[in-house]
Amino acid sequence: MKRLLLLIVTITLTGCVRPGDYPVSANCVWSEVGNQSLDLSKISDRRHLRFDAVTAEDMAIRWADQHFSHRPEYDRQCAQCMETLFEGVAKHHSIDVAVVRQYSQERDAVADAVVILSFAFLYVLAAYILTGRILRQFPPGESGFWIMTLAMAVGVSLVGVLVGSLWSIVFETFRLNSVHLSYRMNRIPFRQHWAVLFVCCFVVFGLVAVMRSRVKLQTQCSALP
């Protein structure tokens, strides 16, 4: 468990600066030290552009929050500021603004993998513990065991969807250093594919139950004279 948490923190803090660490420009202008043309055939340059694009989007949202929060013109002003910042990033790196806009919506595959794998580990552990409690109440192979397993699988899977979504939002908030994710929450895989997550949780719970029941049956059979 300690190693898992250490891995999550290490990957999350791999970069020296997070998007939310950048100060908000009062006049919505992109500023960056030095002029650097990017070669998008290089992984490092693609990573740089994605970070700049995500940072520009975050700055526009925070700028709109500061100046137009809860006002009718919020969306329009945020969009205008964002477009200005995207144009600044594009000009700074000598690339097309459409490319910057595209990169702002790309997910960090490593960060998403950390979220999914950490949740999967904890969910399998929870399923293992809960199926063990069912086995203590109902002998494996009896109808009561499978009825209880089915009911628990549905309930635990629903809870898993909620917990997984919450965990991904917390992780995303910390990764971006932004307490207002706004519409960006809809890009999180756990929110986009919640139905798939529910099915996966249901199947995993069932597989864990089957494996534990077989192990217990084999143990009981081997104990017979």
pLDDT in tens, 45-72: 888 899 999 999 999 999 998 889 888 9
Average pLDDT, the chain: 85
Q: Are 94 and 37 in contact (CB under 8 A)?
A: yes
Q: Domain boundaries in the chain?
A: 2-104, 109-223
User: Whats the size of the chain, residue-wise?
Assistant: 225
pLDDT for 27 equals 87
Mean pLDDT, residues 74-103 taken together: 92
* DSSP codes joined into one string, 130-179: HHHHHHHHS-TTSHHHHHHHHHHHHHHHHHHHHHHHHHHHHHHHHHHT-S
Of 78 and 216, more confident = 78
Confidence of residue 9 (pLDDT cuts 50, 70, 90): low
pLDDT for 8 equals 52
Mean pLDDT, residues 85-91 taken together: 92
Helices vs strands, H then E, count in the chain? 8, 0
Q: For residue 178, how many other CB atoms are within 10 A of its CB?
A: 21
Q: What are the structure tokens assigned to 61, written together?
A: 């949202």
Q: What are the structure tokens assigned to 167, written together?
A: 């965990």
Confidence of residue 79 (pLDDT cuts 50, 70, 90): very high
List the single range of 130-139, 193-202, 204-213 with lowest mean pLDDT.
130-139
Please report the sign of the dihedral spanned by the C-alpha atoms of residue 38, residue 54, residue 161, residue 4. Answer: positive
pLDDT for 191 equals 87
CA 176 to chain centre: 11
pLDDT in tens, 174-192: 888 888 788 888 889 988 8
pLDDT in tens, 119-160: 999 999 999 999 999 888 888 777 888 899 999 999 999 999
Q: Are 164 and 197 in contact (CB under 8 A)?
A: yes
Cβ partners under 8 Å of residue 163, min gap 6: 119
Q: pLDDT at residue 220 above 80?
A: no
pLDDT for 6 equals 53
